Amino acid sequence: MLPTTLVNSGSQGNGVLSRRDAARHTAGAKRYKYLRRLFHFRQMDFEFALWQMLYLFTSPQRVYRNFHYRKQTKDQWARDDPAFLVLLSIWLCGFGFVLDMGFFETIKLLLWVVFIDCVGVGLLIATLMWFISNKYLVKQQNRDYDVEWGYAFDVHLNAFYPLLVILHFIQLFFINYVIISDSVIGYFVGNTLWLIAIGYYIYVTFLGYSALPFLKNTAILLYPFALLIMLYLISLACGWNFTKMLCSFYKYRVK
Nearest to 95 by CA among 184, 42, 23, 168: 168
Predicted local confidence at residue 170, as pLDDT: 85
Does any domain span residue 21? Answer: no
Does any domain span residue 211? Answer: yes
Does any domain span residue 127? Answer: yes
Does any domain span residue 12? Answer: no
Give me the phi and psi of 239, to 5 degrees please: 75, 25
Predicted local confidence at residue 238, as pLDDT: 93
pTM, full prediction: 0.76
Task: Render pLDDT for 150-163 as a digit per residue (tens, 0 to 9).
Answer: 889 889 989 998 99
Please count the structural domains in the chain.
1
> Does an H or E element contain 5, and which?
strand 5-6
Does any domain span residue 6? Answer: no
Q: Which residue range is the domain that position 169 belongs to?
A: 29-254
Task: Render pLDDT for 159-187 as a digit per residue (tens, 0 to 9).
Answer: 998 998 898 778 878 887 788 887 899 89
Does any domain span residue 73? Answer: yes
Q: How many other β-carbons are positioned within 10 Å of the β-carbon of residue 112?
A: 18
Task: Determine the Cα–Cα distance for residues 244 and 232; give it in Å rounded to an integer.
Answer: 15
- 90: β partners: none
Which has the higher per-residue pLDDT, 69 or 105? 105
For residues 44 and 37, the answer to whether their CB atoms sit within 8 Å is: yes
Does any domain span residue 15? Answer: no
Does any domain span residue 170? Answer: yes
**Coil vs helix vs strand at 6:** strand
